[in-house]
A and B are shown apart, each in its own frame.
Chain A
């Protein structure tokens, strides 16, 4: 059956998609950007490469929040290069929250699966085919990339950052028992309707928003699969993890602890 599909399909997809994704499956990648002029060309190039090589159907939705550094210009050039069926520009006037960026992006998404990730090259698109395979394998509602299991890991963190990360994760696991090893990660695959439902229920911001999504997902009995990923942090040197962020993380964690 696979051979017939391959011969009937367009010359572009010479290989059958692994994981037996059906012909109707389409993956919409949401890329909220703010001042990502430097990284945007590369993340898009890597996404296109990854999807072309694996044969899955996709679109990339770039949600730029009025970046002053010319991100929008680069996005428009990329749209010309790759086509407006693959690159969708859906910008906003000013910097608003991540949750609303996802909502905005999903309004225009024609895929039945949504992939969220960072646009700063810390998440590598090569893991997306693995997410898709994992999702098919277990028929999961959500697949989450984890830095803490298997051969997942991080590049560019010093000892202090690693300690903070592990301590935070440990406390989170003890308090919330979430059934996922990496709660603050933002490299995930969702069924579209699952993401829509969850965003409607979440109220936190920042790191805690990503945590709340997983916690709410468990409450609603959605299934979560995990794929180890490598996280290449090229920004950490410039943006230290400040006391403010730690405090707001703890406040958010305790709120989730007390309310879910």
Chain B
């Protein structure tokens, strides 16, 4: 099953479960407090997902490691390499 298919199945399953419960299609009479939460649940989840995404990406950008040492090391190794290769006869 492709990832797209998995997502569609997952959404279809959750979506139909939610619809069944909120519309009372299964003949279950849920207490009002339950239904009050259930009805806007998809919207809540969407907003939470959005916040999670924003927070995660923000955190990861902020902690994105800057490799200053690597750049410095590379520079000095390039100097070393240039000297060594010239000694070995490389014409740059």
A contact residues vs B (CB 8 Å cutoff): 41-42, 45-46, 74, 77-78, 80-81, 121, 124, 148, 151-157, 159, 162-163, 165-167, 169-170, 175-177, 230-232, 256-260
Which secondary structure characterizes the binding site on chain A? Answer: helix
| B contact residues vs A (CB 8 Å cutoff) | 2-4, 53, 56-57, 60-61, 64-68, 70-71, 74, 77-78, 81-82, 84-85, 88-92
Q: Is the CB of B56 within 8 A of A153?
A: no
State whether A124 and B66 are in contact (beta carbons under 8 Å apart), knowing that A41-B85, A46-B81 are contacts in the complex.
Answer: no
Complex contact A45–B81 (CB within 8 A)? yes
**In the complex, which of the residues B70, B84, B91 contacts A232, with contact meaning CB atoms closer than 8 Å?**
B70
- Is there an interface contact between B70 and A175, defined as CB atoms closer than 8 Å? no
Cα distance A233–B50 in the bound complex, in angstroms: 31
Given contacts A77-B91, A170-B60, A175-B3, contact A231 B67 (CB under 8 A): yes
- CA gap between A148 and B81 in the complex, in Å: 29
Interchain CA distance A137-B77 in the complex, whole Å = 29
A156 to chain B, nearest CB (A): 7
Q: When A46-B81, A166-B60 are in contact, do A257 and B70 touch as well, CB less than 8 Å?
A: no
Q: Cβ of A162: which chain B residues have Cβ within 8 Å of it?
A: 61, 64
Q: Which chain B positions have C-beta within 8 A of A46? A: 77, 81
